[in-house]
Chain A
Amino acid sequence: QKEVEQDPGPLSVPEGAIVSLNCTYSNSAFQYFMWYRQYSRKGPELLMYTYSSGNKEDGRFTAQVDKSSKYISLFIRDSQPSDSATYLCAPPDNTDKLIFGTGTRLQVFP
């Protein structure tokens, strides 16, 4: 079993939709979780991170962690074509190196 798993997609939604991107992990020792966004032919960039359980909101983006079920979610409200990208979840391991999921490709069409 991979330590971090994501559905590769693509997930295709109309502009304005609420998007839910999900990630599962196997290591209960992960303490916090990061979401990276990667546009086509670009390097990933940090979108947001959240510690432990609960929600964190940043504009149209909300990150949610459920440690009891080892499940991480990223919600995008009022999705825009500019949100079309691959979204990677990445918890740091106990040596602070990131363990990346394979990413979910999102397409938002006008």
Chain B
Amino acid sequence: DVKVTQSSRYLVKRTGEKVFLECVQDMDHENMFWYRQDPGLGLRLIYFSYDVKMKEKGDIPEGYSVSREKKERFSLILESASTNQTSMYLCASSPVSGSGRTGELFFGEGSRLTVL
């Protein structure tokens, strides 16, 4: 069974703290993504990666960074958490474009972050 695992389902952090959200996939997918999901705004892409050590900014990268040192792992980092980063964070992976399955994202269960 294919799986994307996010390390923490629920986190509570304080303003200014550094936050790490970890994501691991076991499907040998090339592509990995970080989204945040907010009521009324839907899913918004923060960062994505098409290969190890490669990263690209999505639509809302400000206040975030990412790391992809291994193919299966993609980390989202909040250098200094702020209250407006309270959200549901979703990690996803997909096979390489052109594989015939373009666009089929496999999501983790999400990490709900509250910043106080």
Interface residues of A (CB under 8 A from B): 8, 32, 34, 36, 41-46, 49, 88, 90, 92, 96-98, 100-103
Would you call B42 and A100 a contact (CB within 8 A)?
Answer: yes
Contacts of A96 in B (CB 8 A): 97, 102-103
Bin the interface of chain B by size.
Answer: 20 to 34
Q: Which of B45, B97, B102, B109 contacts A43 (CB 8 A)?
A: B109
Report the separation of the CA atoms of residues A46 and B107 in the bound assembly, to the nearest whole angstrom: 9
Would you call B43 and A100 a contact (CB within 8 A)?
Answer: yes
Would you call B110 and A41 a contact (CB within 8 A)?
Answer: yes
Q: Which residue of B lies closest to A42 (CB)?
A: B109
Would you call A32 and B103 a contact (CB within 8 A)?
Answer: yes
| Interface residues of chain B: helix, strand, loop or mixed (majority) | loop
Interface residues of B (CB under 8 A from A): 4, 40-43, 45, 48, 58, 90, 92, 97, 102-110
Contacts of B42 in A (CB 8 A): 88, 100-103
Of residues A43, A46, A88, which shows the largest number of chain B Cβ atoms within 10 Å of its Cβ?
Answer: A43
Contacts of B97 in A (CB 8 A): 96
What distance in Å separates the Cβ of B56 from its nearest Cβ neighbour in chain A?
9
What distance in Å separates the Cβ of B74 from its nearest Cβ neighbour in chain A?
14
Would you call B103 and A92 a contact (CB within 8 A)?
Answer: yes
Contacts of A43 in B (CB 8 A): 4, 90, 92, 107-110
Report the separation of the CA atoms of residues A96 and B105 in the bound assembly, to the nearest whole angstrom: 11
Report the separation of the CA atoms of residues A96 and B95 in the bound assembly, to the nearest whole angstrom: 11
Q: Which residue of B lies closest to A93 (CB)?
A: B103
Contacts of B104 in A (CB 8 A): 34, 46, 49
Q: Which of B4, B45, B110 contacts A97 (CB 8 A)?
A: B45
Report the separation of the CA atoms of residues A88 and B107 in the bound assembly, to the nearest whole angstrom: 13
**Known interface pairs A34-B103, A49-B103; A102-B40 also in contact (CB < 8 Å):** yes
